[in-house]
């Protein structure tokens, strides 16, 4: 190599050896995932994933690959959550939402999602360039946004983390400018209610998800959450597009969360936006109401109200051309009692299905009251399932299915440390499988079974005990 304008040899200096570890974002560039997508560029990262641009080997089509971060894998329910979310998301497709193309738990890089690549810039980047947008332009973005949300909510999907960084603006600064909603891949599917274990036991932290600036008050309060939490985020984003600032500007996350619950957003004229009509401001203020039943009740309603404030039919004019909503394809649960017995405990399985009055804001309190009344212990809670055990003696420890290691005498001792079970009072395990029908009703499949280590001798007595618990359960849930 020669320097310009000089002659003679130039010796390239040897690079110094470094002990510095190359970031994972660089190390994986060039690797192939799913055997068909080559990572070409690191795009960025969020709290839960790293995002890469990739190229399809078959068609040279660009795609986006999201690699789940390691801290999520520590959750023992992660695989079940991942599988369920991916199956549901694969059935959701809308012209104004970024599609999920592929997913796997088994990639060497970690669990991955492959998403449709949409060229454009995020609304976050657009607002950094142009903090205040014109009313008609906001409407042009709001219409597609609400259409995508309405379709998701109709499918039982709640996003829970809507923010400008999750909205891609396409065809920027053209008459075709529009929005695509991103990150539905780990959205919440609310057809199966999820009451956290801490809500049933009174112990442990209750976690709210979402980004602090856009999180709904009910998520901060740890109330039950439905699609109207997304509508609150729409209100925050509308406020930001109209005024160039957030409704609450706080120095700490704690102050921000408290403001969502306790403070009223400033009126537009107090922050120098007297040019915004009361009709437009009214749409935003209603969306920012502290309780879901005070807001608009659907994304469509927000779009229609905003359009009326500007004097046109925003919902119809931004409807995706040729889109036909899919028919409801919810698969009914199959009762476990209909399956052939596979173990000795299954002959004692009792089950029933009923509809219950379970308003979301009272769900945790009602179920916790039932558990306390029957002196049970909630041992598991996940979307659509709560598991309770009754009549566990004090000091009882669940036996391990693994053979104890060591000598025969140690094996004998470990197998005989268990607290004895009184005959006729064998522990009962109760599973509540729930599917939401509307905000106030759920379909419930309840199953009673003994623990496999302690099977009853008296089938009639066992059935009588289960029926007594079942009667208490129906009372608490106001069963139909």
Residue 401 φ/ψ, nearest 5 degrees: -80, -10
DSSP single-letter state for residue 166: G
Q: Would the CA dihedral through 401, 407, 410, 411 be positive or negative?
A: positive
Query: Which of these is catalytic: 83, 161, 183, 438?
Result: 161
* Residue 197 near residue 204, CB atoms below 8 Å: yes
Q: How far apart are CA 258 and CA 263, in angstroms?
A: 8
Q: How far apart are CA 398 and CA 458, in angstroms?
A: 23
Q: How far apart are CA 276 and CA 413, in angstroms?
A: 77
Q: How far apart are CA 99 and CA 121, in angstroms?
A: 17
* Residue 367 near residue 195, CB atoms below 8 Å: yes
275 is catalytic: no
Residue 84 φ/ψ, nearest 5 degrees: -65, -45
Residue 310 φ/ψ, nearest 5 degrees: -100, -5
Residues 6+ apart with CB under 8 A from 223: 360, 361
Task: Indicate the SS3 state at residue 243.
Answer: helix
Residue 345: exposed, middle, or buried by beta-carbon count in 10 A (0-12, 13-18, 19+)? Answer: middle
Given the DSSP bridges, would you call strands 32-33 and 37-45 parallel, antiparallel or unpaired? Answer: antiparallel
Half-sphere exposure of 97 (CA within 13 A, CB side): 25
Nearest to 352 by CA among 429, 425, 433, 427: 433
Half-sphere exposure of 371 (CA within 13 A, CB side): 25
Please, what is the end-to-end C-alpha distance for the chain in angstroms?
Answer: 85
Q: What residues act catalytically?
A: 161
């Amino acid at each position: 190599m020669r320097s310009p304008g000089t002659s003679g040899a130039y010796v390239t200096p040897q690079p110094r050896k470094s002990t510095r570890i190359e970031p994972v974002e660089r190390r994986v560039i060039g690797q192939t995932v799913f055997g068909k997508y080559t990572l070409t560029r690191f795009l960025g990262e969020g709290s839960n994933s790293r995002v890469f641009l990739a190229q399809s080997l078959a068609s040279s089509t660009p795609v986006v690959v999201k690699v789940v971060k390691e801290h999520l894998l520590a959750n023992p329910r992660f695989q079940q959550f991942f599988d369920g979310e991916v199956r549901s998301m694969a059935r959701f497709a809308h012209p104004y939402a970024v599609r999920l193309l592929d997913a796997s738990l088994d990639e060497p890089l970690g669990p991955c999602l492959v998403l449709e690549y949409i060229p454009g810039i995020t609304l976050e980047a657009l607002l950094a360039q142009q903090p205040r947008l014109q009313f008609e332009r906001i409407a042009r973005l709001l219409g597609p946004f609400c259409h995508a949300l309405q379709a998701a909510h109709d499918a039982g999907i709640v996003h829970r983390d809507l923010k400008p960084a999750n909205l891609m603006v396409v065809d920027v600064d053209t008459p075709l400018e529009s929005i695509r909603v991103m990150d539905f891949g780990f959205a919440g599917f609310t057809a199966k209610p999820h009451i956290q274990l801490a809500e049933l036991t009174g112990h442990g932290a209750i976690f709210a998800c979402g980004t602090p600036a856009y999180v709904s008050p009910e998520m901060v309060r740890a109330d039950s959450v439905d699609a109207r939490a997304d509508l609150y985020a729409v209100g925050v984003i509308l406020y930001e597009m109209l005024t160039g600032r957030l409704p609450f500007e706080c120095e700490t996350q704690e102050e921000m969360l408290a403001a969502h619950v306790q403070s009223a957003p400033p009126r537009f004229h107090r922050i120098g936006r007297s040019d915004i009509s009361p009709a437009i401001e009214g749409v935003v203020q209603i969306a920012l109401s502290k309780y879901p039943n005070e807001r608009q009740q659907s994304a469509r309603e927000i779009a229609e109200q905003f359009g009326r404030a500007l004097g046109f039919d925003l919902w119809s004019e931004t409807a995706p051309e040729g889109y036909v909503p899919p028919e409801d394809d919810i698969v009914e649960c199959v009762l476990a009692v209909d399956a052939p017995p596979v173990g000795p405990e299954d002959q004692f399985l009792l089950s029933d299905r009923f509809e219950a009055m379970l308003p979301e804001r009272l769900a945790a309190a009602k179920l916790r009251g039932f558990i306390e009344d029957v002196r049970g212990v909630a041992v598991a809670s996940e979307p659509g399932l709560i598991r309770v055990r009754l009549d566990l003696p004090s000091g009882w420890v669940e036996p391990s299915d693994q053979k104890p290691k060591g000598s025969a005498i140690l094996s004998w001792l470990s197998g005989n440390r268990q607290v004895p079970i009184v005959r006729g009072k064998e522990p009962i395990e109760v599973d509540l499988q729930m599917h939401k029908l509307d905000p106030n009703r759920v379909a419930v499949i309840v199953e009673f079974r003994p623990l496999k280590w302690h099977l009853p001798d008296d089938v009639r007595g066992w059935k009588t005990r289960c029926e007594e618990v079942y009667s208490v359960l129906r009372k608490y849930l106001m069963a139909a």
